[in-house]
Structure 1
């Protein structure tokens, strides 16, 4: 099972406060444990929402909203993508994580990623084949980019 593990933003992360050297080292150690355990598929921190935008859809209409966004509790400051056996295993890993914002309160959200079988009969063999081709193309691009 794959899970998206999201570090929720705080006022500090939204104003660009950077983590301390200690927190960077602690997170690096935690991330190394995830890699050694074969859990981590990806991980990234995100710039504050002031450097981002949202695109709102209303039928065929599109409108762009520039950051920053007011509700920090709804924003994501960073994420991991993990491969684990269950939600319980993901929770246990999160419990071992250093506090992302050291001295304050932090929240990490865990959400399971949809897999092809979750979509049932609507995900036809043709669509499955198309999805597999796309995944293979992305893997190849990632291999080239890491060289």
Structure 2
């Protein structure tokens, strides 16, 4: 199995098309929800999140020392990173098939990239060993939070 990240990028054209079409936000949530449910039922979705608007973000520019921080929105950006999915699929071809099913409109692009696996790095490196342990600890923390959330909903 291989992990792929599907990165949703919106353009000004996409924003204009949505405004012109007067698409109900609840409809968007429903379409994304159905797609996410399909991913979950297929057993391929590891993560997926939408992001807040650029006005809540910032950019760190490492061309300066110390790095310069600029608050959003980013007027120079032609495309904005609006959300992502991480899928665990059998092949690049399967990642393509899922990517083509994402319910996105005109002007939106989806960049798909394979996520590096820890096994691709030297396993005798102490930082790789620490990374593996950090991931195990994080998975345990996320599972505990999900159990607590489920208990609150019950």
TM range (shorter): 0.7 to 0.9
CA distance 1:66–1:18, shift in 2 (3 Å):
farther
Q: Which residues of structure 1 form unaligned runs of 5+?
A: none
- Aligned residue in 1 for 2:151: none
Alignment of 1:1-147 (within 5 A): 1-11=2-12, 12=15, 20-58=25-63, 61-99=66-104, 101=105, 104-119=106-121, 121=122, 123-146=123-146, 147=148
RMSD: 2.4
Cα distance in 1 for residues equivalent to 2:127 and 2:40: 32
Instruction: Report the TM-score when normalising by structure 2.
Output: 0.79
Detail structure 1 runs of 4+ shifted over 3 Å in the superposition.
71-74
- SS of equivalent residue, structure 1 residue 105: coil
Instruction: Report the TM-score when normalising by structure 1.
Output: 0.83
Aligned length: 140
Cα distance in 1 for residues equivalent to 2:77 and 2:23: 16
